[in-house]
Each structure stands twice: as structure tokens, then as C-alpha cells.
Amino acid sequence: MIEQQKKEPEIPYLTRIQVLGAMGTTAIILLIVAKLSLYLGNFSLFSWDLNQRELLLGVGLGFAITALSGVAYRVWTAYRQSADYYLEVVLKPLALPDLIWLGLLPGLSEELLFRGVMLPALGLDHVAVIISSLCFGILHFSGSQQWPYVIWATIVGMIFAYSALLTGNLLVPIVAHIITNWISSYFWKMSQLRQLKNKF
């Protein structure tokens, strides 16, 4: 009987320093692209205003997206496998305090580029939402088996984009993105720690 080998990821597992470095580098690159686009383009950054109403709306939206992700995780097998793969590569090496950066760096840099810059650059309409969301989804591609995760990220990108358009405030998707990353990564990390404890 031939023993089945464990399927290795298409990208190698990273160390904690490599994951944090990749997050920081990606955030810097996205911020540079956003700044260059604003400098070279004939449009303004999507407006954002720090106020309590939109802050709370962003928090609520973050919780709602996390709940939807939980439902998708339970009922959509391909998404569950894809999400587990992605989260294992990204989250497994990280310590709990590192999750702060996992929320802040992508939440700020990705929203600035995909919603703050791309939406006004493309016309602040449905086409702009679709194109910017597809680009956001593709950013989360990490291997040929990751299409369910890319599809889910695209859907979430559309929710973020429409939240910006409907409120007129970039703060809403920024906060929602940060909250979503924090909650989902925390619960995934806790479930992995519980599984590890149960083995001993």
C-alpha cells in the first residue's frame, strides 16, 4: 500500500519575520502606487471624515462581513479549504500581538488604493466597483487552488466599495476591513491553539 504524502502548499511556509516583512512591504508598495496615481491622475482621493457615526457603521459592517464569512466557511467546502490554506500560510507563524498589524496595514493601505484611489479614478460607479473589487480579489491570489478565496475577497471588496459610495466616507471600509481582519484572524488563531492543546 502506497502511503499518501501530505500535499505541500504551492508557496512555501514563511517565518514570522517573513510574513510581517511581506505585510509591511506590500503596504508600502500599495501606498506608493496610490500616491503616484493621485499625483499623475486627474482626480482626488475619495473623501474621508473621522466621525462617530461612520466609525460605528464601519465596526458594524466589519462584524457583518465576518459573520457572512463564517457562514461561507461552513457551507462552501471549496472556500473553507482555500481559506484554511491562505490563513495557515499567513497566520500560523504569527504571534497574537502581530494580529494588530494584520488588521492595520492591509486595512489602511488596501482601502486607500482600491477604494480611495481606484473608485474615483474609474468614475465612482458600478463599473468602478466591479473593476476595483476584482483587482482587490486578485491581490489575495496565492496559488492555483485559491480561486474560492479570490472570489470571496472580490465579493468583500464590492461590499467595501459600496459602503464607501453610499456613505461618501472612506473611513467606513477602512474600519470594516480592519475589524474583519482582526476578528477572523483572532478566531482562526484561537481554533488552531485549541487543536494544538487537544493533541497533548
At 57-88, the pLDDT tens digits run: 999 999 999 999 999 999 999 998 888 888 88
158 vs 80 pLDDT, higher one: 158
Q: How confident is the model at residue 5 (pLDDT cuts 50, 70, 90)?
A: very low
Counting residues of the chain whose pLDDT is more than 90, the rounded percentage is 60
pLDDT at 9 over 60: no
Mean pLDDT of 176-198: 86
- For residue 12, the model assigns a pLDDT of 61
Q: How many CB atoms lie within 10 A of CB 45?
A: 16
- For residue 131, the model assigns a pLDDT of 97
- For residue 145, the model assigns a pLDDT of 77
Mean pLDDT of 165-177: 96
Contact 193/99 with Cβ under 8 angstroms?
Answer: no
15 vs 118 pLDDT, higher one: 118
Contact 78/144 with Cβ under 8 angstroms?
Answer: no
- For residue 155, the model assigns a pLDDT of 96
- For residue 60, the model assigns a pLDDT of 97
Mean pLDDT of 137-162: 90
Q: How confident is the model at residue 192 (pLDDT cuts 50, 70, 90)?
A: confident
3-state helix vs strand vs coil in the chain, percent to 5: 75, 0, 25
Mean pLDDT of the chain, nearest integer = 88
Between CA 62 and CA 68, with CA 63 as vertex, the angle to 5 degrees is 100
pLDDT at 118 over 60: yes
pLDDT at 28 over 90: yes
Contact 164/120 with Cβ under 8 angstroms?
Answer: no
- For residue 43, the model assigns a pLDDT of 87
